[in-house]
Amino acid sequence: MNDNSPKISWFEHISALLSRKPEDREQLLALLHSAYERDLLDADALTMIEGVMHVSEMQVRDIMVPRSQMDTIDISEKPDEFIPFVIETAHSRFPVTDGSKDRIIGILLAKDLLRYYAGKEEFNVRDMLRPVVYIPESKRLNILLKDFRSNRNHIAIVVDEYGGVAGLVTIEDVLEQIVGEIEDEYDFDEDDAYIVADTGGHYRVKAIAEITSFNETLGATFSDKDFDTIGGLVINHFGRLPKNGESIIIDDFSFTVLRADSRRLHLLKVERVKPGLCNSPDLPH
């Protein structure tokens, strides 16, 4: 091959693959995975493309923060009363209610509280409120993302079919479906949160959780002779770095990858299974 010949670009590689004219979504995904296996796409790029395709099928109800978990401020509270809550939760935007979560009268931006600390003018929370954007639970995420961008809005209140508040959703929630979890300076996790019990007997386990802690918490008997972390154990049984959604059964536990990138395994869902099941990896769900 002539060293002076122009290199084929990533776009040209993909164009060549797509020249096969995939007839449906499954064929398109197969072509993309083929590109990944041939090192034409890295894991991050593949995950984002899949995320974009996945977002087009998802609705707001699939990712919203439920009403019961919404962090809100009541208009009757004085700044001295709710500012410690603002600092503790570390959100940038808060729905402001008037007596109940069904009566949201505006959105307060945390940065607007700087005016309160400046003390140069009388501070009135009502004057600081931004308009509320209401959306139905059934709204498609790709349409919501387009609306967020065009309206320069970052948060919306989700309502159910009866008009009651069902939850909230932010632009970050949508983007995380494409690029993975977006961490900021407030997303530091304490050591005691490495293994968290969910409903239904499931556990969310960070890949960096030590095997000894895992054994103690879940009653397992995994050896820590060759690996210190549960992530190392899982990667070894896969024989490679697994992708989001892939599962494997090791001894009496099922491990499903909740979050991984091209370099590391981050988060797993773990549940106990019946003894004797096959230990081979499952296809992504």
**Same domain (yes/no): 137, 210:** no
On whether residue 16 sits in a domain, the answer given is no
**Residues 181-217: tens digit of each pLDDT:** 655 433 434 444 789 887 677 898 999 899 999 999 9
Across the beta sheet with 104-109, what order do the strands follow?
Answer: 73-74, 93-97, 104-109
On whether residue 90 sits in a domain, the answer given is yes
**Same domain (yes/no): 79, 102:** yes
Q: Which of 42, 57, 72 is the last residue of a domain?
A: 57
On whether residue 18 sits in a domain, the answer given is no
Q: How many domains are there within the chain?
A: 3
- Give the residue-averaged pLDDT of 93-109: 94
Least confident of 110-114, 179-183, 272-276: 179-183
**Same domain (yes/no): 149, 68:** yes
What residues contact 253, with CB distance under 8 A and at least 6 apart?
218, 220, 270, 271, 272, 273
Q: Which of 112, 145, 179 is the last residue of a domain?
A: 179
- Give the residue-averaged pLDDT of 94-108: 95
For the full predicted model, state whether its pTM sits above 0.85.
Answer: no
Q: What CATH number does residue 246 fall under?
A: 3.30.465.10
On whether residue 30 sits in a domain, the answer given is yes
The pLDDT of residue 185: 39
**Same domain (yes/no): 264, 249:** yes
Q: Left, alpha or beta for 202 (phi > 0: left; psi -120 to 50: alpha)?
A: beta
CA dihedral of residues 129, 131, 137, 142 (deg, nearest 10): -110
**Same domain (yes/no): 166, 205:** no
Q: What CATH number does residue 91 fall under?
A: 3.10.580.10
- pLDDT at residue 129 is higher than 90: yes
Least confident of 12-21, 102-111, 162-171, 234-243: 12-21
- pLDDT at residue 279 is higher than 60: no
The pLDDT of residue 19: 53
**Residues 229-260: tens digit of each pLDDT:** 999 999 999 988 888 888 999 999 999 998 87
Least confident of 32-41, 61-70, 85-94, 161-170: 32-41
What is the domain range of residue 207? 195-272
**Residues 42-80: tens digit of each pLDDT:** 777 777 777 777 778 889 998 888 888 899 999 999 998
On whether residue 186 sits in a domain, the answer given is no
Q: What angle do CA 249, 282, 261 make, to 5 degrees?
A: 95
**Same domain (yes/no): 80, 51:** no
Q: Which of 179, 205, 239 is the last residue of a domain?
A: 179
On whether residue 185 sits in a domain, the answer given is no
**Contact of 35 with 17, CB cutoff 8 Å:** yes
**Same domain (yes/no): 142, 154:** yes
On whether residue 282 sits in a domain, the answer given is no
